Structure 1
Amino acid sequence: MEIVIDIDAEEPLFSQLMAEIKRAVGSGGIGPGDALPSIRQLANDLNLNNKTVAKAYQLLERDKVIVTKGYRGTFVHPDARENMNFDLNDWVTSQIQQTITACRDRGATDSEIRIAFANIMQNKLAAGE
């Protein structure tokens, strides 16, 4: 698996790394069950910070493109090809947009919506979730 990262690009490094791993999965360069390098090894190979690679791996695992099996390592998820096309950020944005539209249709002002959103987020964080 060849990974190319452009440190001068505007796109964040972790995002580039995610895209490269997804590209390798999509092209068949790596397949379900294939092992990926450890965070430390990949960071060293690409001359990146460990935290950058860890963030990319964390987001790829959240999206079920990869799976970490403790000390055994990190592997391509069995359903990686199907899962890599789902963009959680797009989905969240769409859901929030629908809610905002519904609130505006009922007459809520942007200020009321912002206050309600902030209160909901603060209560969630205060509850430790």
Structure 2
Amino acid sequence: MNKFVIFFSAMLMLGGTATMAQSPVAEPDSTRDPIKQGDPAPDNVPSQTSYTKDMVRIKHQDIPVALRKTLSADTYRGWENANLYKDKAGSVYMLEFQDPLKTRLYKFDRNGKLIKEKTSRDVQ
């Protein structure tokens, strides 16, 4: 009888160990980063205030003539439907195209020279 109790206890512990060894564990890929490697990259455009916080929205007729000439290029086709901003000093102008899949930003000086171009993945 004593051997039976020891044998039964050992089998119970062995069965419990085997059951616990089969419990699912998160894939190492998803534990550090909730987005798996095979997932398409999300377009996380920060809120509008993060990159326009020091800028004022302006109307299209308020931009300088030199910038209007630059915007007439094919690269900026449709700029009339985009959002325009300028910094408070009036030295930097920003053009914001909002497409369904990404947001494009172009920064210009008051003479119409391109300063910087950003897409939705690197908008800061």
Q: With the length of structure 2 as denominator, give the TM-score of the two structures.
A: 0.19
Quick check: which one's helix share is greater? 1
